[in-house]
Amino acid sequence: MKKKYLKESEVSEMTNRSVATLRNDRYFRRGIPFIKVGRSVRYDLEEIIAWMEAHKVRTMDH
């Protein structure tokens, strides 16, 4: 299966995190793993989903 990479604006929309927050996270090397080639920044869709799953809050029902 071909990997899918997203732009920061797409990640912002998907995660409801601002572009500024994503940029700060990259600067401080925290948050969602990213790929940078030159000035281009991309996020692996699988890494985004894994990051979101790792921050899942379990409720009493589960």
**Token code pair at residue 1:** 């299966």
Q: Are strands 35-37 and 5-6 parallel, antiparallel or unpaired?
A: unpaired
**Other Cβ atoms within 10 Å of 55 Cβ, number:** 8
Give the model's pLDDT for residue 1. 79
Closest C-alpha among 21, 3, 4 to residue 12: 21
Give 17-42 pLDDT, tens digit per residue: 999 999 999 999 999 999 999 999 99
Return the domain boundaries, the chain.
5-54
**What pLDDT was estimated at residue 61?**
81
